Amino acid sequence: MRVIGYVRVSTDEQAHSGLGLDAQRTAIETEVERRGWELLAVVSDAAVSAKRSPADRPGFSDVLEALRSGSADAVVVSKLDRLTRSLSDFAGLLDRSVSEGWGVVALDVDVDTTTATGRLVAHVMASVSEWERGVISERTKAALGELKAKGRRLGRPVTLPGSVRDRIASERAAGATLRQIADGLNRDGVHTSQGGAQWWPATVRAVLRSVELDSAA
């Protein structure tokens, strides 16, 4: 199997010392040789944070292009966090690898999507990520529902007279733009919720959002 190694360090200091990159490279070369694969190249991203999406990194972009074109069969990393620390990013990478027909090998977590066992491990990890997102969403909705049931206001505190809020909502419903509404309020000397004398389209938009939240509560 033809593979490309990928190594990454986050800081300039690590990049300049070369120690982190060398250790990753050695681990990849050793394991590739043990498995009898052909190592085409080892591509690096130096001083690139894991927070940056894999597809947005210069080095890994080259790796993806080689994989997509069929020049290589898989990408190998010594540790999964060299690829990404985000399970959602990892899940997206897995989906891409399946659709384009290449593999992902992470030596530290026994992920090798070119094998049945490795694919199982990878999909379990991706499923856990999806489950976590679902749980967070459910908890958020439940908390908001409880606040509504208790009569708690979910929008920003209302400090505008009801007549001003009604005016803004009515003019917007009649087709006025945010700029037109703001200009009219300024012309009439109406103060904002913070006591200011200047209305802006963004200020009007904030009031409209507050009105919408009140209506939904």
CA–CA separation, 43 and 106 (whole Å): 15
From the list 10, 44, 97, 210, the catalytic residue is: 10
- Annotate the chain with DSSP letters as a single string: -EEEEEEE-SSHHHHHH-HHHHHHHHHHHHHHHHHT-EEEEEEEETT--TTS-GGGSHHHHHHHHHHHHTS-SEEEESSHHHH-S-HHHHHHHHHHHHHHT-EEEEGGGTEETTSHHHHHHHHHHHHHHHHHHHHHHHHHHHHHHHHHHTT---SPPP-S-HHHHHHHHHHHHTT--HHHHHHHHHHTT---TTS-S---HHHHHHHHHHHHHHHH-
> pLDDT (tens digit, 9 = 90+) per residue, 13-56?
565 555 588 899 999 999 999 999 999 999 999 878 777 778 78
Buried b (16+ CB within 10 A) or exposed e, 7-20: bbbbeeeebeeeeb
CB within 8 Å of 100: residues ≥ 6 apart: 67, 68
pTM of the predicted model, to two decimals? 0.56
10 tagged catalytic:
yes
CA–CA separation, 119 and 103 (whole Å): 9
CATH architecture of the domain formed by 2-129: 3-Layer(aba) Sandwich (3.40)
Q: Among candidates 61, 63, 43, which has minimal Cα distance to 53?
A: 61
Residue ranges covered by each domain of the chain: 2-129, 162-216
Dihedral sign, CA of 167, 173, 177, 180? negative
CA–CA separation, 88 and 125 (whole Å): 10
CA–CA separation, 23 and 19 (whole Å): 6
Amino acid, single-letter form, for residue 40: L
Q: How far apart are the first and last CA of the chain?
A: 59
Q: Would you write out the chain's pLDDT as a tens digit for each of its 217 residues?
A: 999 999 998 875 565 555 588 899 999 999 999 999 999 999 999 878 777 778 789 899 999 999 999 999 999 999 988 888 777 788 888 889 989 999 999 998 888 999 988 888 887 876 765 666 666 777 777 777 776 676 665 555 547 888 898 999 999 999 999 999 999 999 998 988 777 778 988 889 888 888 776 555 4
